[in-house]
Amino acid sequence: MDNALIQLVARLKIRLRQVQNISLNTQRFFAEQTYAGQVLDLAEECEDVELVSIAMDLRDKLGWLTTPSSSDSTPKGPAKSSVTSAGAALQSQRYAFGARS
């Protein structure tokens, strides 16, 4: 097992006890993926930045933190025609009182 992974789990265990008063069962953490996921979810919901960072590092080392694929990285905004029609509507509303002198 990777020494860096063991150190991250140890840091997680200590921070969980200090911040959330939760005792982490390390043997169960490595044996049961559902338990590990629940513990990491609890850690990520915490206000402690270090605890959240440790949890995300662990997810990354365990391969549970996925990056979006190239097809998912395309922006999912409104269609261009709806944007231009909304812009035209704003332009027509802007000068409702006639020309200014």
Question: pLDDT band for position 74 (50/70/90)?
Answer: low
Per residue in 27-44, pLDDT tens?
999 999 999 999 999 999
Whole-prediction pTM: 0.62
pLDDT in tens, 76-88: 554 444 444 555 5
- Contacts of range 11-20, beta carbons closer than 8 Å, 24 or more positions apart: 11/54, 12/39, 12/43, 12/51, 12/54, 12/55, 12/58, 15/43, 15/48, 15/50, 15/51, 15/54, 16/42, 16/43, 16/51, 19/46, 19/48, 19/51, 20/46, 20/51
